[in-house]
Structure 1
Amino acid sequence: MDAALSSCIDRIRAAAAAGTPLRLRGGGSKDFYGERLAGQVLDTTGLAGIRSYEPSELVVTVGAGTRLADLEAVLAQQGQCLPFEPPHFGPGATVGGMVATGLSGPARASVGAVRDYVLGLSLVNGRGELLSFGGQVMKNVAGYDVSRLMAGALGTLGLIVEVSLKVLPVAPAEATLAFELSQAQALARLNAWGGQPLPLNASCWVGEAGAGTLFLRLRGAVAAVDAACRALGGERQDDGQARQVWAGCREQQLPWFAPRAGLDLWRLSVPQTAPVLELPDVPLIEWHGGLRWVTAPTGEAERLRHTAAQAGGHATLFRAAGAAAVRRFHPPTPPLDRIHRELKRQFDPAGLFNPGRLFPEF
C-alpha cells in the first residue's frame, strides 16, 4: 500500500471515529455539479499514476487522482482513446472525478457512457476498508456490477482509489458535415439516419426559433465515412474547425453556453425520438436528439421537469446561475429511493462521504 492511499485510509478511519463528514475532491473542476458541498476536504490527487496499461488488450488501470489530460495523452501515443469523450471542465479534471460524475461527451449516444467502460475498481468504504470489484476484462463482470455502480454516485458511496477502463483505437477516418435545418427538420433527419447503416458518432444542433445548424460527426472505416459523406450531402467542415466545434460542445465553450444573468442551465435527457419540446428557450440538442440543453429562470423548474417526464425522460439542473432554490436532480421514485438509501447504508453507514451531494436528504 503506497503512502497516499495509507494516508487516505487513516483519514477516513479517523473521520468515522469522530463522526466528521468528508468532501472527496480531486481537481475540483466539477464542483458546480450536484447538490451542496459539505465536509472537510479529502484531496485525492495523491492517488495518481498509471498502474498498468496493455495497449494490445485495450485496457488501462489508473489511479483515481490521475489528471484526465495525462491519461488521454498516454492513450493518444498508442493511437487509442476514451471513446465516450469525458468533459474536463477545467485543467485539473481527474479520472476519479470522471467516474464519480459519470458525465460523457458528444459521442455518448453512439458509443456508450462512462459506466460502460468501467471494468473494475477499488475503493475505500466508510469503515476505512479497501475493497475491489470487477477486473480487467468484461468476462469478470458477473452478478451485481458494483464497480459501475460508482459511475454517477458523486463520491457518496466511497473513495475511488483506482479504476480499470476499457479503451478503444482511434477511428481510422472522421468527417463532420453541417446542414442548415430547423429544429424539427434536424430531429427528423437524425431519426431517419438512425435507422440506416451509417457511421454516426455525434450530433449537435444549435440555432434559433426557425433555423439552425446541425453538425453531424461520422467516424469509422475510411470507405464507410466517405460513402456516408456522399450519401448524406451537407457541407463538409474543415477538420481543424470541426475539432474546435466538438471540443466546444464537450467543454460547454460554444457561444450558446455563455452564462446569462439569472438563467440556469438545464439538461433534459429524453428518448431520441422525442419531438420538438415546448421549452422556455430554443435548446441546444446533442446525442441524436436524446439530450436537450436549455437555459431558463429557476422558476421554470417544475415546468421543465414535467415536460421531460411527459416525453419519457428527466431533467437535471446542471449549472445554477446562483444559489439553487430547487433540487438539482429529478427526485427518485420510492423504489429507487429505497435502493439508494440501502446502498448508502452498506457502503457508508456513518454518512461520511459527500453528504447532501447527490440528494439533499443524505
Structure 2
Amino acid sequence: MTTDIQPSAVSPAQRVVKNLLRSRELAVAVVLVLLIAVTTIKSDSFLFGSTGWRDLLLTPSMLILLAVGQTCVIITRNVDLSVGSTMGLTAYLTGRLFIDTNLPIIAVVLAGVLMGAGLGLINGVLVAFGRVPALVITLGTMYIYRGAFLTWAGSDRINASDMPRAFKDLGTDSILGIPILTIVALAVLCAVGYYLRTARGGRELYAIGSDPDAAELYGLKVNRRILFAFVLSGALAGLAGVVSAARFGTVSSSVGTGIELEAVGAAVIGGVAIFGGSGTVWGAALGAFLLVTINRSLPVLGISGFWQQAVVGALIVGAIVLDRVLVNRQERALVAARDTRSGSTHQGPPSLAPVVPSSTPGSDSESEEVVR
C-alpha cells in the first residue's frame, strides 16, 4: 500500500520572504532609505557633500553602542536609564587619564569600559538581587552618576589639546571609506547579535523576558542573566563615552545628557518589545540610524526643531502601540490554533473531559487522547 506524501504548502524560500516582509527591521530600513533619498533630493550635499556620507555613518556610532546594551536589558523586561550619565563619567575619565597618566590608548579604552561595567554592576545587583524595579533603580543611579560627574568635573573642560593625536585620529580616520568608530560599533553589534542568537545565555535572556516566573521555575539563572545584561549595558555605555571623547575631541559636563531616552527610543523603534522577550540588536541599530538621520535631515527639509521632537515621539508611541497589536493578534492566533487542535471548535456543547497530549514529547503530531 502506497502513501502519498503531500509536499509542504510553503517552500523555505517563500517562508524566508514572508518573514522578511513581516519583520520590523525591514520596515525601519525602508523608512530610513526613503528619508535619506528624500533629503538627498532636497539637498544633494546631505549625502554627497564633502562629509555627508562620512557623517551619516559616523554620527550614530555612539547611539548604536548604547542601543545595543539597552536592547539586552529591555529584552529581560527591564530598562537602564543611567547609560547617559555612565557615558559622561567615562568620557571624562578618558580625558583625565590622558592628562594625568602616560597610559597607552588601549589601556585608557579598557579603563573606560571597565568603569562602565562597574557602574552597570551596581544597577544589576540592586535590580536582580534587591528585587527593586529597574525603572526606579536606574532613575536614581542616573542622578547619582550625573551628580558624581558634575562634582568631579565641575567647570573643568577637557580640550582636544589635552588628548594625544593618535586618539583623536580614531574619531576622524576611515578604513575603505568607513569611519573607524563606525567599524567599532558594527563589530560590537555583530558580536552581541551573534551571542543573543546562538549562545545559550543569549536565548535565556529572551526566555526570562517572555515569562520570568516560568524561567525561574524551569531552573534558569534569572538573577545572573539580568546582572549580566546590566553589566553589558554599562560596559557599552563606557565604550560610548570613550568614543564620544575621540569623536568630538572635547569633554564637558554636558556629555551624555538626555541620550538615555534616545537609546530606549532607538531600541523600541527598532522592534524591541518594551515588555520584554522579543527584538533584535539589528533593529535597535537601525532605530539608532533612523533617529540620528531624522535629527540631521528634518532641518534640511525645513522642518522646525519642535516637529523634530514630535516626529521622534510619534515613532516611539507608534512602535509601542504596534507591539501591543501584534502581541494581541499572536495570542488570539495561538488560542485559536490550540482550540482547533483540542477539538473545541466542533458543533455542539463543549466537552468537559480533560485533554491529554500525545505521549511523545515535542512530537509534531496533532493527535490527542481524550480521557472519558
- TM category, shorter: under 0.3
TM-score for both structures, normalised by structure 1: 0.24
Answer 1 or 2: which has greater strand percent: 1
Give 1 or 2 for the bigger CA radius of gyration. 2
TM-score for both structures, normalised by structure 2: 0.24
Higher relative contact order (CA 8 A, sep 6+): 2
